[in-house]
């Protein structure tokens, strides 16, 4: 390794060493351990299971690395900037393996791990990469994972399970965070990690939070055509000249917990006027201010001014006091066991929104995007990575409210979907005077009332693939709810429903945005929003911003039963 101390550009050298530790434990056979460093296939075999971890010949070896942004670090593919490896299994019989990929600092690095970011993806068969985690600074876990065998003192990168023979190729990137200031550091800095894989046979991991929720709720069966109705049994009727809605059908007036598949397995979701999905998680650690022009509320003075306001017209307004607790509604238990939560304010009941942002169930009140004359402006991001206006608002809130707190470690980089797939010109939705009317796949999937239900509404937790340079599938610390999640929860286009997510049913008419593109009409971009009902809205409208996060905990809820008077608590 060449280290020229007199050359500033070689101030940092990172070398990644590789270590495999896999422990397979079962009733009928003994435990096996293997630990090795090298460039060969490492294999463990027991009776009916073979797991193999294959190291590639490349290692991460950054010479003269300078601090970089996530946008750049996540895409690096030059030699020495990434590391590929494969985890595969050959399984015979009814066996499940829970496994975990982790990283462990070795040696005594001369740069603090809080300035080193790691980023893991899965390489799909077509060569594209699926994001498995958001870029995270090096942070070691305090506890062990008994389901996978990972010890404490390592950084967990990804956890999954196998119950059939499969092979997965992963790619790890490591880079210096842009917050690091290289001035006067003396050069020649190093930071090294081991890449570890742990595995154990046994039942698929189920967090204690999930077990508690399922103990408190009986899982119900979905009914045929149930998503054509709101959860109060009302259906949109395009032929009804009165209010466009049918009388309630008792057969479809349904509340409770149901199941549906997502990318990670079985998801348990709440539907209807449920009252036991309240959670207290996080709190404001300082007085928190947003900026208002008198009508709308922004996360910074800069974003307020960006929306065509003068500096003098953007004044601070208190959103929360130091110590105010954050309350959330559980949307669902994700297939990976994490909880998907939507922000519900600092109070558990909300008056009708009349301008007091502090008592609402949102963190702001803004446009979705400032541009509107192209379909791309429906995307949560567009032009292959440019943030929408609302994404910048959500990211700013998260960074200032949770990202700098101890609660951040419980928030995972969860899956989010801005479904920009299937854009097509449509003529059968009964709008002959609409001119150019192009709909996204979500409109075709959720708006069947417009075609007299020639097919059923078909909401999904699985994000469709898209070829567009906007929208798509993300791993984020915070995002927004999807239109599909609203329909699964009991909302419906054109119907005033009664679900826990309906602002009218909750006495709070604080209309809010989803992150699902809807259509492109008359040259304007439209995104789904929840008003009195689910509706396609011009991105220039000003609606509430309700962040969504995904939280994981192995320890269950510390207290509560999920009711408004006694919410579940995640410490």
Q: What is the pLDDT of residue 7?
A: 31
Q: Give the model confidence (pLDDT) of 460-482 as tens digits.
A: 999 999 999 999 999 999 999 99
Which one is predicted more confidently, 397 or 509?
Answer: 397
- Return the SS3 of 537: strand
Strand partners, 409: none
For residue 42, name the pLDDT band (cuts at 50, 70, 90): very low
In sequence order, which residues have a C-beta less than 8 Å from that of residue 52 and are 6 or more positions away? 41, 42, 43, 44, 86, 87, 88, 89, 90
The H or E element containing residue 395 is: helix 389-401
Q: What is the pLDDT of residue 480?
A: 98
Most confident range, picked from 90-104, 118-132, 196-210, 507-521: 118-132
Most confident range, picked from 99-103, 214-218, 401-405, 460-464: 460-464
Share of the chain above pLDDT 90, in %: 53
In sequence order, which residues have a C-beta less than 8 Å from that of residue 361 and are 6 or more positions away? 343, 344, 345, 350, 506, 508, 510, 544, 546
Strand partners, 68: 177
The H or E element containing residue 305 is: helix 301-306
Share of the chain above pLDDT 70, in %: 85
Most confident range, picked from 200-214, 342-356, 466-480: 466-480
Q: Give the model confidence (pLDDT) of 242-296 as tens digits.
A: 778 889 999 999 999 999 999 999 999 999 999 999 999 999 999 999 999 988 9
In sequence order, which residues have a C-beta less than 8 Å from that of residue 13 and are 6 or more positions away? 1, 3, 61, 62, 63, 65, 188, 189, 190
For residue 163, name the pLDDT band (cuts at 50, 70, 90): confident
The H or E element containing residue 190 is: strand 189-190
> Could you tell me if 24 and 32 are in contact, meaning their C-beta atoms sit under 8 angstroms apart?
yes
DSSP class per residue in 471-521:
-EEEEESSB---HHHHHHHT-BBTB---STT-TTTTT----EEEEEEEEEE
Which one is predicted more confidently, 182 or 506?
Answer: 182
In sequence order, which residues have a C-beta less than 8 Å from that of residue 115 and are 6 or more positions away? 67, 137, 176, 177, 179, 180
For residue 49, name the pLDDT band (cuts at 50, 70, 90): low
Please identify which residue in the block is written with the tokens 């463990």: 44
The overall average pLDDT reported for the chain is 84
pLDDT at 22 over 70: no
- pTM value? 0.85
SS (H, E, C) 64-110: CCCCECHHHHCCCCCCCCEEEEEEEEEECCCCCEEEEEEEEEECCCC
């Amino acid at each position: 390794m060449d280290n020229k101390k007199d050359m500033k550009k070689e101030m940092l050298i990172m070398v990644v060493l590789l270590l495999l530790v896999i422990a397979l434990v079962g009733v009928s056979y003994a435990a096996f351990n293997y630990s090795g460093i090298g460039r060969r296939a490492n294999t463990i075999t027991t009776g009916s299971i073979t797991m193999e971890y294959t190291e590639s010949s490349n290692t991460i070896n950054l010479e003269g690395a300078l601090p970089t942004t996530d946008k750049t670090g996540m895409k690096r593919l030059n030699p020495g900037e990434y590391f590929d490896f494969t985890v595969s299994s050959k399984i015979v019989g009814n066996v499940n393996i829970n496994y975990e990929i982790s990283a462990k600092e070795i040696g005594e690095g001369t740069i603090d791990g809080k300035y080193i970011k790691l980023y893991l993806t899965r390489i799909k068969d077509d060569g594209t990469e699926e994001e498995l985690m958001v870029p995270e600074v090096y942070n070691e876990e305090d506890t062990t994972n008994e389901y996978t065998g990972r010890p404490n003192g390592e950084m967990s990168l990804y956890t999954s399970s196998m119950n059939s023979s499969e092979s997965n190729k992963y790619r790890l990137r490591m880079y210096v965070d842009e917050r690091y200031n290289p001035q006067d550091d003396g050069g020649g800095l190093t930071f090294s990690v081991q890449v570890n894989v742990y595995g154990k046979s046994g039942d698929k991991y189920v967090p204690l939070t999930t077990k508690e929720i399922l103990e408190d709720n009986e899982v119900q069966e979905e009914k045929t055509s149930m998503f054509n109705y709101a959860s109060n049994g009302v259906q949109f009727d395009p032929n009804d000249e009165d209010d466009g809605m049918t009388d309630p059908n008792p057969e479809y007036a349904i509340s409770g917990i149901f199941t549906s598949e997502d990318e990670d397995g079985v998801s348990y979701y709440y539907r209807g006027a449920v009252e036991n999905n309240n959670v207290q998680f996080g709190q404001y650690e300082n007085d928190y201010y947003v900026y208002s022009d008198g009508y709308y509320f922004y996360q910074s003075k800069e974003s307020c001014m960006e929306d065509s306001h003068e500096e003098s017209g953007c004044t601070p307004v208190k959103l929360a006091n130091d110590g105010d607790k954050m309350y959330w509604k559980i949307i669902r238990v994700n297939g990976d066991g994490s909880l998907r939560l939507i922000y519900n304010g600092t109070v558990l009941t909300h008056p009708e929104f009349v301008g007091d942002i502090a008592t609402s169930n949102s963190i702001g009140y803004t446009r979705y995007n400032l541009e509107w004359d192209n379909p791309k402006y429906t995307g949560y991001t567009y032009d292959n990575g440019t943030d929408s206006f609302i994404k910048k608002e959500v990211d700013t809130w998260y960074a200032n409210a949770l990202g700098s707190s101890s609660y951040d470690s419980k928030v995972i980089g969860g899956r989010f979907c801005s479904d920009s797939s299937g854009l097509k010109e449509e003529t059968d939705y009964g709008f002959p005077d609409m001119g150019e009317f192009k709909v996204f796949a979500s409109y075709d999937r959720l708006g069947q009332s417009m075609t007299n239900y020639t097919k059923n509404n078909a909401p999904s937790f699985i994000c469709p693939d898209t070829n567009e340079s906007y929208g798509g599938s993300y791993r984020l610390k915070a995002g927004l709810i999807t239109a599909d999640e609203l329909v699964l929860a009991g909302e419906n286009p054109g119907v005033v429903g009664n679900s826990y997510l309906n602002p009218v049913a909750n006495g709070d008419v604080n209309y809010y945005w989803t992150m699902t593109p809807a259509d492109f009409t008359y040259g304007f971009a439209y995104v789904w929003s929840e008003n009195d009902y689910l509706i396609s809205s011009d991105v220039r409208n000003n609606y509430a911003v309700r962040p969504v996060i995904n939280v994981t905990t192995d320890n269950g809820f510390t207290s509560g039963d999920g009711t408004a008077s006694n919410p579940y608590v995640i410490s």
